[in-house]
Amino acid sequence: MNIIDTHSHIYLEEFDEDRADVLARAKQNHVGKIILPAIELQSLDRLMNMCRQNPGYCFPLLGLHPEEVKEDYHEILSRMKALLNVKDSPFIGIGEVGLDFYWDQTYRKEQIEAFETQIEWAIQYGLPLVIHTRSAHQELVSTLYKYKGEKLRGIFHCFCGTAEEAKELLSFDGFLLGIGGVLTFKKSTLPQALADVPLSRLVVETDSPYLAPVPHRGKRNESSFVYDTVVKLADVKNVSIEEVARVTTENAEKLFFTPQI
């Protein structure tokens, strides 16, 4: 069995004390690859060092998280784009990008502009997008509709919405829903929301160190815990654990590691 954790921040300082053990546990729990989304420039060296130290196992994305968008976002994005222009750039996607109006809408306009810029990177470089959205579903859909005719693909990371929202997001061809620990929560409505979503449109993720699944809820999340989400998804879909691992891994492989024609 092989599982890809499509969203993990195990390069952050929360893992400085035991990162080698975290990676060992992930491998023991059938995790064959870990995808590391960027959030800003400050932690990018940590992310890249982890990928260099674990070639073929950890893979980098590049992007500016919406909550990190401030007045200087033009400068930050300019510095990021320069990294994409390097010969043999190692980045396999653009992320984690998107819109988040949950805590603060001070930079609402700037968030939308930064998101659009990074969508255009995905188109220009032929890379998948990993999209974060919170309290901004309609704005997200409206923004993506501007690019409906383009060859865009990617993941709606940490999907926690309704069946209607899932249907609306999956009307964008080439996009998948990223399913994490929230699926396992006792009061989660995700099992119902995913009832009509085929496995072929899903990938699994942890969002480590956040949102640890049951039975680890409340603890620091780590990539090995993605197995618990796979187990729950198998129950929700009434298929085997092996089938969920196989299909979600194939989906992630096709998105990130298969050359686009």
pLDDT of residue 261: 64
Long-range contacts of 241-246 (CB under 8 A, 24+ apart): 241/1, 242/1, 243/199, 244/199, 244/204, 245/1, 245/2, 245/3, 245/30, 246/1, 246/2
Q: What is the pLDDT of residue 2?
A: 96
CA angle 27, 32, 36 (to 5 degrees): 100
pLDDT of residue 149: 84
Element (H, E) at 23: helix 19-28
Question: Per-block average pLDDT, block size 10, for the chain (261 residues)?
Answer: 97 97 98 98 97 98 96 96 94 97 90 98 97 95 93 96 96 97 96 96 98 96 98 98 98 93 64
Give residue 260's pLDDT.
76
For residue 186, what are the contacts with CB-CB under 8 A and spacing of at least 6? 214
Q: What pLDDT shows up at residue 230?
A: 98
